[in-house]
Amino acid sequence: MPKVFWTLSTMSLWILFVLALPSVVDGSPAVTLRPGSESLVTSAHTNSLPETAEDTEVYKEGGAVIEEGLEADAMATGELNPSHYHAQRAAKVVQHYLNTRHSSPYRRFELLRVHKANAEEVAGSGRKYHLEISLQETTSNTTAKCSAEVVFPVGEGQTPPQVQASCGDLSKINTMVQEEALYQQYKMSHAPLTAHNLPDSDGHIDPSMKPFWYLGGVAASFIMLKESNESTLYNMAQVANVTQLETENNQLRFNYHVLVHDLVSQEIGHWKLLVSWSPPEGVKVLQMEELPKCDCEAPPLNAN
CA distance 72 to 75: 8
Residues 214 and 154 in one domain: no
223 with 273: CB under 8 angstroms?
Answer: yes
Hey, CA dihedral for 191, 197, 201, 203, is it positive or negative? positive
Same domain? For 97 and 60 the reply is yes
- This prediction has a pTM of 0.73
Asked whether residue 181 falls in the same domain as residue 166, the answer is: no
Which residues pair with residue 282 across a beta bridge?
Answer: 278
CB neighbour list of residue 234: distance below 8 Å, 6 or more residues apart: 92, 96, 223, 224, 227, 228, 260, 261, 262, 263
The answer as to whether 69 is a domain residue is: yes
Helix (H), strand (E) at residue 24: helix 2-25
The CATH number that applies at residue 212 is 3.10.450.10
98-119 tens-digit pLDDT: 999 999 999 999 999 999 999 9
User: How does pLDDT run across 125-149, given as a tens digit for each residue?
Assistant: 888 999 999 999 988 888 889 999 9
List, in sequence order, every residue forming a beta bridge with 284; answer none if it has no partner.
276
Dihedral sign for Cα atoms in the order 119, 120, 121, 127 = negative
User: Which of 134, 244, 235 is closest to 187 using CA atoms?
Assistant: 244
Boundary-marking domain end, from 171, 195, 229 = 171
How many domains are contained in the chain? Answer: 2
Q: Which domain holds residue 163?
A: 50-171
Q: Pick the last residue of a domain from 139, 155, 171.
A: 171
